[in-house]
Amino acid sequence: MSDTPPTPTKIELRIAALARRTALSEAERSAAAQAIAARGLPFPVRDGGIVAGYSPIRSEIDPIPLMQRLAARGVRLALPAIVARDEPLMFRLWSPSDVLVRGSLGIPEPAPEAPRLIPDILLVPLAAFDRAGHRIGYGAGHYDRTFAQLHAIKPFISVGVAFDTQEIEAIPMQPHDVALDYVVTETRTIDFRSI
C-alpha cells in the first residue's frame, strides 16, 4: 500500500480553485481587474489587431477594464458567442459602448448581426492554471475546440486571465488539451512559450 495520496481529478481541482476564487471579495476582484488593465498585455498589439475577451460570469476576473484600455489604443475587440454545445466559439465585433444580448447559455454576447472576427489574441477565462501553462476550464470544452479551430486558421496568442489564487501545482493533461501562451494575474505575467 502506497503512502502517496491519490492525484486529484480535474473535477476536484476545478471545485477547489473555484471555491478560492469565489471567496475573494468584490473589492479584491475589482482591484485585480484594474491592476491587470494598468499593466496591459505583455507584448505589443499591432494597429488594428483583434483581441477577443469574454463577458465575465460568476466569480471570473473581469477583462473589460483591460479591453477598454486596448480599445483606447485602436485595438478592435471581440466577444465570444456560443453557437452550439459541441462547437467552437464564434467571435463577434464588440465595442465597450455596445449593448449585449443574452446568448443561449445566458452569457452576455454581441448581437447576432455584429460582424464575425477571427482574433489575433484570445483572452481566456479559466478555473485553474499551472506553471506549465495548462488550464482547467468549466468542462464543456468550448475553448479546447476553439483553440483547435483557430490554430488551423492562423497563428494567435492565448492569454489566460486569472487571480493568483487560481494557480495550482499541476493539472492532469489529456491529448486534446493545449497550453496557454501566457497567464496574467493581478501581480504577475507568466510567459509559457519557452516551456
pLDDT in tens, 155-164: 999 999 999 9
The mean per-residue pLDDT over the stretch 67-84 comes to: 94
Query: 169 near 148, Cβ under 8 Å?
Result: no
Q: Is the pLDDT of residue 81 over 60?
A: yes
Residue written as grid cell 488551423: 152
The mean per-residue pLDDT over the stretch 41-51 comes to: 92
Which DSSP helix (H) or strand (E) runs through 72? helix 64-72
The mean per-residue pLDDT over the stretch 79-98 comes to: 92
Q: Which residues pair with 77 in a beta bridge?
A: 51, 94
pLDDT level of residue 124 (50, 70, 90 thresholds): very high
Residue written as grid cell 494598468: 38
Mean pLDDT, rounded, of the chain: 92
- As a whole number of angstroms, the distance between CA 188 and CA 20 comes to 18
Residue written as grid cell 519557452: 194
Does the CA dihedral 48-54-55-56 come out positive or negative? negative
Residue 102, pLDDT score: 92
Please name which of 185, 186, 168 lies closest in space to residue 132, comparing C-alpha atoms: 168
Task: Record the cell numbers describing residue 61, joined without a space.
Answer: 476576473
Q: At what angle do helices 26-39 and 64-72 cross, to 10 degrees?
A: 30
Residue 2, pLDDT score: 55
Surface-to-core class of residue 3, CB atoms within 10 Å of its CB (0-12 exposed, 13-18 middle, 19+ buried): exposed
Q: Is the pLDDT of residue 3 over 70?
A: no
- As a whole number of angstroms, the distance between CA 150 and CA 16 comes to 30
90: Cβ contacts below 8 Å, ≥ 6 apart: 80, 81, 83, 116
10: Cβ contacts below 8 Å, ≥ 6 apart: 136, 139, 171, 172
> 126-140: per-residue pLDDT in tens?
999 999 999 999 877
This prediction's pTM: 0.92
pLDDT level of residue 94 (50, 70, 90 thresholds): very high
